[in-house]
Amino acid sequence: MDPLLQRLEPFWYPLLPMQQLGAEPVAVTLLGRSLVVWVCLASPARPAAADRSGPQ
């Protein structure tokens, strides 16, 4: 990862309109990192995110 992006990482969060989120994960790339975001079914309207490179 680019050193500049690495320094910005703690201050950036994946943003997607809530209308595009559902129970099915949506793939996004943020600062060069592959993520999936979705709405947590246990807490409706609460977004969640995970690194796509982690365990499936």
| 16: helix, strand or coil | coil
For 35, how many CA atoms within 13 A lie in the half-sphere containing its CB?
17
Q: Looking at the domain assignment, is residue 45 inside a domain?
A: yes
Q: Looking at the domain assignment, is residue 13 inside a domain?
A: yes
pLDDT at 20 over 80: yes
Q: Looking at the domain assignment, is residue 28 inside a domain?
A: yes
Q: Looking at the domain assignment, is residue 56 inside a domain?
A: no
Q: Which residues contact 13 (CB under 8 A, 6 or more apart)?
A: 30
pLDDT at 47 over 70: yes
Q: Looking at the domain assignment, is residue 29 inside a domain?
A: yes
Domain that holds residue 37: 3-51
Q: Looking at the domain assignment, is residue 44 inside a domain?
A: yes
| Contact between residue 47 and residue 54 where contact means Cβ atoms under 8 Å apart | no
**Higher-confidence residue: 33 or 44?**
33
State how many domains the chain has: 1
Whose structure tokens read 């409706």? 44
